Structure 1
Amino acid sequence: MSIHSRPIHIYRWIVFLLAAGYCLHQMVLGSWSGPGGPFRYLTIWALFMSFYAASRMLALTEHRITRRHEVTAMCAAVLNVMVVFLYWRLYFTDPSLVNGSGPIIWWLEYYLHALGPALQIIDALFFGRVFRRVWRGVVPLMLIIGAYVAWSELFVQRFNEKPTGTVTSGLPYPFLNSMELPERAVFYAVNAGTALGLLIVFGLVGAVLYRVLRDRPVA
């Protein structure tokens, strides 16, 4: 099916409008109780990355651009999987590890940590078929993760007093504030490695899927 077909066009409009609506919600009604606002959280970085990827995929479908933005879609997909995995793993251990300020509204929680990522990943994997030369996504993905870590450690922690932990305070997720700096460094490194692993997995899945479909990149 061509990415210019009506079903994919409609799908991409739905993904774009949902992402745009939730981004607007965060800008207007998000958690602005501390410096950095909602952008303290990796989830919101992933949301805005998804919005940008959705806008590019829609523009490609409507012939407004020719660049395929495959790396953009790759990075958004991997970032979303990381968010979903980390959030639910910690949530099912103890909700306070990630929701220090209390429960999230259900329609916001399930979009940010389930539906939104799923919609973006479906587009990238099945419609855009972007996971062909995944090595191109390694440097951009590491830069995004490195930027978030630096933002959290150098800005968010410095200018926020909550949440508090047994070691420090201000880091966006409560559990991080109960870890020493070397422990946090290991945690960040492990998750960066996980991101690379996910990129490789997507590449392998894509290689098999696209061979089975016996199709060139949709155009």
Structure 2
Amino acid sequence: MTLGRAFQIAAFVIAVGYCLRMVFFSEYTQFAGPFRFFTVWGLFLATIAHGLTVFSRDPARWDGFIGAASVQNAMVVLLYWRLYFADPASVTANGQLGVWWLEFYLHAVGPHFLWINALFVYRGFRRPLRSIGWMVGIVTAYIAWAELLVQRFATEPSGTVTNGLPYPFLNNLEFAGRASFYGMNFVVALVFVAGFALIAALIRRSLPQARP
């Protein structure tokens, strides 16, 4: 077994452990429990991506999805820490980080594991247009989920405009403001796709290596 293969398996097993922790030890007092959050979508997308690199007979077939999962996790890291350092209460219920080892895995360590796998071991981002297609689907699905279901059935957090949207700051924005926020961050996601594709190409050129 190569070191890269061992890393993929370890990253997958760790991610599965965090998924199980999220499912069985989260609070479900609000509609959908932890599945309201973009961060948790990122955790499960990353777990699937790791699993595809480990178990798929043709991992190259899933290059677009693995790239999209990597970009979605980059968006999680960017959005969470940018908003947290600007105003902790904008993304947390009480302005405080929760369980530290969980928060840092979800918003730092876990995404880095996926990027290492996607860029250095799996050697992905060969089909960036497919990643964009997957990103359109993921982002559209999450926005529809949050706006049409979570907002309707959840009662907290509450804001000056609405209640129930997963992140407190969203409840202080009119729909036009939220749409602008969603659109702006999707543009940033496209920039991330291009950036990851460029980095991946440079890695493949400078560090030629067969996929495990």
Instruction: Calculate the TM-score normalised by the size of structure 1.
Output: 0.92
- The alignment-based identity, stated in percent, is 41
Question: What is the aligned partner in structure 2 of residue 166 from structure 1?
Answer: 160
In the alignment, which of 186, 191, 200 is matched to residue 197 of structure 1? Answer: 191
* Secondary structure in structure 1 of the residue aligned to 2:98: coil
Task: Report how many residues are paired.
Answer: 210
Give the distance between the partners of 1:121 and 1:112, measured in 2 at CA.
13
Match of 1:72 in 2: 65
Q: Deviation digits for residues 93-116 of structure 1, max 9, x if unmatched?
A: 111111115531000000000100
| Structure 1 residues 149-201: Cα deviation after superposition (integer angstroms, max 9, x where no partner) | 00000000000111011111100000000001000000000111111110011
Describe how 1:77-156 pairs up with structure 2 within 5 A: 77-101=70-94, 102-156=96-150
Q: In structure 1, what is the Cα distance between the partners aligned to 2:27 and 2:115?
A: 26
Any unmatched runs of 5+ in structure 2?
A: none
Runs of 4+ in 1 over 6 A off after TM superposition: none
What SS does the corresponding residue of 1:168 show, helix, strand or coil?
Answer: coil
Q: CA deviation at 1:36?
A: 1.2
Q: Distance in 1 between matches of 2:133 and 2:8?
A: 27
CA contact (8 A) 2:161 2:172 kept: yes
| Structure 2 counterpart of 1:178, from 172, 175, 182 | 172
Q: Distance in 1 between matches of 2:110 and 2:63?
A: 18
| CA distance, structure 1, for counterparts of residue 197 and residue 58 of structure 2 | 23
Pairing partner for 1:16 from 12, 17, 37: 12
CA distance in 1, matches of 2:26, 2:123: 33
Contact 2:63 2:127 in 1 (8 A): no
